[in-house]
Amino acid sequence: MSNTGPLPGPDESTQESADTALRHIVDGFLRFRQDIFPTQEALFKRLANAQNPRAMFITCADSRIVPELITQSSPGDLFVTRNVGNVVPPYGQMNGGVSTAIEFAVMALGVQHIIICGHSDCGAMKAVMNPETLERMPTVKAWLTHAEVAKKVVTENCPCGAAHDTLDVLTEENVVAQLDHLRTHPSVAARLASGQLFIHGWVYDIETCEIRAYDADAGDFRPISQDAPLPMATPKPRYSPR
């Protein structure tokens, strides 16, 4: 093998772009430390040694989805888990970060609500529809097998017309599928059965800011609004809490 010398590094424009992106993030932190933190210092002191979140929020890693912004939550309010496609692997198949976070949220933190939130224009769902786009990303492809049940449901039952209609329906069905997976986790199943835990399936529309929530009784997604009861995905409890 001939000695070709060191590999070329990034060109100047690429390096400049990378430096600018990082500088923006660092400048943001410095503004937070100087301008925001002092106004909320009492809150952070309370949070320094304990957390008591209102809910667990499982959503997509998509950079456009910011759970705290969408729900206007403060630090300490949400126990957030993010991954490609807002996936919840069935219990026992993959004891990784998502399963660990669920068990910790339920058993250690005692959260009473778990929200699984999909979103419009989801790249993960587009990939599920077009798996050939994942040939160079085998890890992502393997991960998204957890959404195959949603794809099968849509393929065999949805009279969808345009591709965007199929994407919307698949996004909803994926949330329903992940809710089903969530219920296989023993810690979740036990507290659902006693009425100590409530689960919710949402789809957030980036362009309109609408959230549609899954209504298990109706088998449909309905908009969240002030004028109607909140749609619920929680099954009816079968036992009284001890």
46 counts as catalytic: no
In the set 62, 117, 168, 200, the catalytic residue is 62
C-beta of residue 30 within 8 angstroms of C-beta of residue 86: no
64 counts as catalytic: yes
33 counts as catalytic: no
In the set 31, 46, 64, 164, the catalytic residue is 64
User: What does residue 146 show for φ and ψ, rounded to 5 degrees?
Assistant: -70, -10
117 counts as catalytic: no
CB atoms closer than 10 angstroms to residue 37: 13
209 counts as catalytic: no
In the set 117, 119, 181, 185, the catalytic residue is 119
In the set 122, 146, 181, 185, the catalytic residue is 122
| DSSP result, the chain | -----SPP---HHHHHHHHHHHHHHHHHHHHIIIIIGGGGHHHHHHHSS----SEEEEEE--TT--HHHHTTPPTTSEEEEEETTS--PPTTT--SHHHHHHHIIIIIS--SEEEEEEETT-HHHHHHH-GGGGTT-HHHHHHGGGGHHHHHHHHHH----SHHHHHHHHHHHHHHHHHHHHTTSHHHHHHHHTT--EEEEEEE-TTT--EEEEETTTTEEEE--TTSPPP--PPPP-S---
Residues 3-20: b if buried by 16+ CB within 10 A, e if exposed: eeeeeeeeeeeeeeeeee
Residues annotated as catalytic (active site), given as ranges: 60, 62, 64, 119, 122
